[in-house]
Amino acid sequence: MRFIFAGFGGQGVMLMGQILAYAGMIEGKNVTWMPSYGPEMRGGTANCTVVVSDEPVASPVVDKAETVVAMNIPSMIKFQNFLVENGYFFLNKSVIDREPDKKEDIKIYKIECNEIADKLGNLKVANMVMLGAVIGATKIVSKESVFKALEKKLTGKKAELIELNKKAIEEGMKKVSEQ
Partner 1 sequence: MEKVMVKGTEAIGEAAIRAGCRHFFGYPITPQSELPEYMSKRLPEVDGVFLQTESEVATVNMLYGAACTGTRVMTSTSSPGFSLMMEGVSYMACAQLPAVFVNVVRGGPGLGDIQPAQGDYWQATKGGGHGDYKLIVLAPATVQEAVDLTVLAFDLADKYRTPTLILADGLLGQMMEPVEFPEFRDLSTLPDHSSWAMTGAKGRKPHIITSFDIDPYILEKMNLELVKKYREIEKNEVRWEEFKTEDADIVITAFGTVARIAKSVVEMARKDGLKVGLFRPITVWPFPYEPLKKLAEKVDLFFDVEMNMGQMLEDVKLAIGGEKPVAFYSRMGGVVPTPNEIYEALKKEFGRRE
Q: What track of x and - describes contact with partner 1 for positions 63 through 102 (by CB under 8 A)?
A: xx--------------------------------------
Q: What is the CA radius of gyration of the chain?
A: 15
How distant is the alpha carbon of residue 18 from its chain centre? 9
* CA neighbours closer than 13 Å in the CB half-sphere of residue 114: 9
Q: Which of residues 45-64 bind partner 1 (CB under 8 A)?
A: 57-64
| Phi-psi map region of 34: left, alpha, beta (phi>0 left; psi -120 to 50 alpha) | beta
Task: Give the residue, chosen from 5, 33, 89, 147, that forms a contact with partner 1 under the rule CB under 8 A.
Answer: 33
Residue 22 touching partner 1 (CB under 8 A): yes
35 belongs to the binding site for partner 1 (CB under 8 A):
yes
Which stretch, 25-33, 92-100, 107-115, 162-170, contacts partner 1 (CB under 8 A)?
25-33
Dihedral sign, Cα of residue 87, residue 52, residue 91, residue 100: negative
What residue ranges bind partner 1 (CB under 8 A)? 18, 21-22, 25, 30-35, 37-39, 57-64
